Amino acid sequence: MADEVKYGLSPEGFKRKRLPEIIDSLVQRTSDKLGISIQSGANSIFGQLYGIIGYELADIWEQTENVYYAMYPNTATGTSLTNAAALTAITPIEAERTEIICLCTGTDQTLIPSNSQIQDKDSNTYTNNDDVYIDKNNASKVEITIDTITTGTTYSLTINGQTQDYTAKSEDDISTVLTTLYSGFSFNDINFDLTNNILTISTADEEKTMKISVNNLKIQSVSTPISFYCDIYGSINPGIGTVDTINTAINGWDSVSNIKNIVGRDAETDTELRQRWSQSVYARASNMIEAIQANVYRRVDGVTSCLVTENNTDTIDSDGLLPHSIKVIVEGGDEQEIAETIYQYSCRGIDFNGEIEKSVRDSAGVTHVIKFARPVAVKVWLKIEITKDTETEWGNNNINEIRELILEQTNNITVGQDVILQKFIGTLYNNIQGIAFISITACTGEVAGEYKQENIIIKPTEKASFDLSRIEVQIND
């Protein structure tokens, strides 16, 4: 005789009683109680009554099962998963805002108060946290001119403490004076351009600034790099130069343009939290590459991915890694915080690889140089040919909207992830009406090469890079 099926909690786990089994149980209990066999068909009184009661009991069994599985990371969801993870001191990573560095251009000493708002072409808004000034002593670009040349007047230009003077002669014009002044400087990281009697002085790296002072010269405009934060939490990545609208009108603030994005990240999903939970043992280690990966990702704000490779041999390996060294590839996050976290969870006595170098002090005050790398960007070019379905109405879709749709999907591609062309086809079919056929080809390189219907294979240290200018769409009737 087979063993009786057990429902509820048992040594084997939880077994839920389902609707047919509930109704059979009600019928059997009633027959046993009355001592007679009852009619339980769909048209009988007992059948209809037990059908109503059975549904209610089935809901209770389902909720009881959900409560049981809410205790475990592999089956819990939402708040239950958060609460279960908290038992091991793991909390979900909240969404983070995108930070953008913008060149704010206008009149020198113009105050841009905190909570001033700017906007990108997709209507996302950004605000600054602190009062900041457009300031010639904190400028990445300055435009200088002269109203009139006066013979015998001395004109002075000072850049980062270095000064050039010139006393005007009777035959001099504005161009001569400005050219003489800037020609006396020999900076490697500052550029000069004289056009239409306006001298533009700019740093080679727009994020870096310089100090400028003048005498008998006129400062036409100043551009200062200022940080703004997206008002929406998540992975918002505006195109460079597309944040160009000033919503908070301020006298003296003429224009804005983003020059760098530090992209935020979306809130951690249940799946991502489960994966991190399973790796939590590594996060508590101090001498494993998994510990570095887990802690850089978990502890440094803005990090969207972290990968660590190692060379444990006595010679330089095929990837150029030093003997007994590691290479940490990190996307996002503050460089100094990343370096400090790498040092905290790495073994002493190993070497580091990477183009970014940061100094970290240990508890004894000794300075250590930590190196790490950013993912290598692989420029991907896409060519999409869409043939319309003559039997289906073509929606109000234009080429630019299709390109934006594709670009939006590429934001989900992470470091080391291959570019699967078929995934773009699914996105197009799901969002655009009236498609008969789609052909997608791709290539990589600084310039477009031979397009092929092959997936783009990305190395673990690389990340696919996309741009609207590299997405070509052709629609055929």
Beta strands in 39-140 (DSSP E): 97-106, 110-112, 117-120, 125-127, 132-134
Split at pLDDT 50, 70, 90, the class of 88 is low
- What is the per-residue pLDDT across 433-473, written as a single tens digit (0 to 9) for each? 888 899 999 999 999 889 999 999 998 788 899 988 899 99
pLDDT at residue 72 above 80?
A: no
pLDDT at residue 363 above 60?
A: yes
Instruction: Give me the mean pLDDT over the 340-368 stretch.
Output: 89
- Alpha carbon distance 209, 226 (integer Å): 11
Q: Which of 226, 234, 207, 206 has its CA nearest to residue 124? A: 234
Q: What is the pLDDT of residue 7?
A: 84
**Domain 279-372: CATH class, spelled out:** alpha beta
- Alpha carbon distance 252, 255 (integer Å): 9
Instruction: Give me the mean pLDDT over the 315-329 stretch.
Output: 90
Where do the structural domains in the chain lie, given as residue ranges? 8-69, 98-262, 279-372, 376-476
What is the model's pTM?
0.55
Q: Which of 386, 383, 351 has its CA nearest to residue 369? A: 351
Q: Which of 313, 309, 335 has its CA nearest to residue 324? A: 313
Tokens of 268: 């951690």
Q: What is the pLDDT of residue 291?
A: 83
Q: What is the pLDDT of residue 276?
A: 67
Higher pLDDT, residue 151 or 393 = 151
Look at 236-245, 275-284, 342-351, 378-387 and tell me which has the smallest mean pLDDT.
275-284
pLDDT at residue 193 above 90?
A: yes
- Alpha carbon distance 75, 274 (integer Å): 9
Tokens of 427: 């996105």
Look at 103-117, 153-167, 275-289, 333-347 and tell me which has the smallest mean pLDDT.
275-289
- What is the per-residue pLDDT across 285-318, written as a single tens digit (0 to 9) for each? 545 687 888 888 878 888 878 888 888 898 998 8
CB 419 within 8 A of CB 455: yes
pLDDT at residue 74 above 80?
A: no
Tokens of 463: 């990340």
Split at pLDDT 50, 70, 90, the class of 5 is low
Letter for the amino acid at 86? A
User: Directed axis angle between helix 19-34 and helix 45-69, to 10°?
Assistant: 130
Tokens of 220: 């036409």
Look at 112-116, 229-233, 460-464 and tell me which has the smallest mean pLDDT.
460-464
- What is the per-residue pLDDT across 398-416, written as a single tens digit (0 to 9) for each? 788 888 888 888 877 888 8
Bridge pairing between strands 13-15 and 8-10? antiparallel
pLDDT at residue 117 above 70?
A: yes
Instruction: Give me the mean pLDDT over the 367-389 stretch.
Output: 92
Q: What is the pLDDT of residue 50?
A: 82
CB 319 within 8 A of CB 309: yes
* Angle in degrees, CA 203, 264, 239, rounded to 5: 55
C-alpha 470: how far from chain center: 20
